[in-house]
Structure 1
Amino acid sequence: MGFLSAYLVVDFLALLIAIIFSTYFYMKYVVYNYWSSRNIDYVKPIFPLGNLGPVFAGRRSIGEVFHDAYSKFKGSPVVGLYMFHRPSLVINDPDLIRLVLTKAFGHFMIVVYTPMRRLTPCRCTCLLCLAKSGNT
């Protein structure tokens, strides 16, 4: 009984607090450094929801979150986001979008979020959320 005290509840709470803090620091310094380690502009995430905090609060939709990232980093060819702990990529550059959709198609799982209800060829500002697929 070396590590257990007379108060099992205290031991349990200490273990729970240690797990919460270690998870927080792992997410903050390992998982949420994915885009900064690759020198890609990104929207700063908030633990544990990543960039989905406004979505869960009911203030914004997922399309608006992607549109805000697109608008904030309009000059950058790509922007990084986090969906909980998973990195997602918004591509702003039309040439890069064409490359991904034609040549690198098999390496990505593509989910298209469109903040506008109706897209025309002239107003094609669809946002791509690209996540590396586990199949490659």
Structure 2
Amino acid sequence: MAKVRGFEIVADVADKEQVILPKRSTEKSAGYDLHALRDIVVEPGQVGLVETGLTAYMQADEWLGIYIRSGTSFKYQVMLANGVGVVDSDYYGNEIKIMIRNIGDRPLSFQRGDRVAQAIFQKYLLVDADEASGVRSGGFGSTGV
């Protein structure tokens, strides 16, 4: 059976045994929980990059949305620095990282294994006469460079 969509451990992650593959918490959950691969501390007003050790595969007309977990946002006063993370289908093989902004007034720490965000696979549509011709040339933050 051909693979349709899912998560894999990034090939060049040194501590593969520490990576937690995402799963949904309940039968009706839309999102797959993403866990921190390493401990991280984010100071108030700062942005931190949470590593996951994961890559995602999906169909060409799909994208993976990364959203902060509501409980995490409320409990720790944190948000995604980019609002919603967008992982395109051609990002496959590159590590998914979560940009966290600490909007609270004290340092925020995530421990390895903590649930930080959730990932939701989604379809998208193209406009008539779409002419995208670029090719991804790297990983995180590489589009348009």
TM-score (norm 2): 0.30
Q: Which has the higher strand share?
A: 2
Larger radius of gyration: 1
User: Does 1 or 2 have the higher relative contact order (CA < 8 Å, sep 6+)?
Assistant: 2
TM normalised by structure 1 equals 0.31
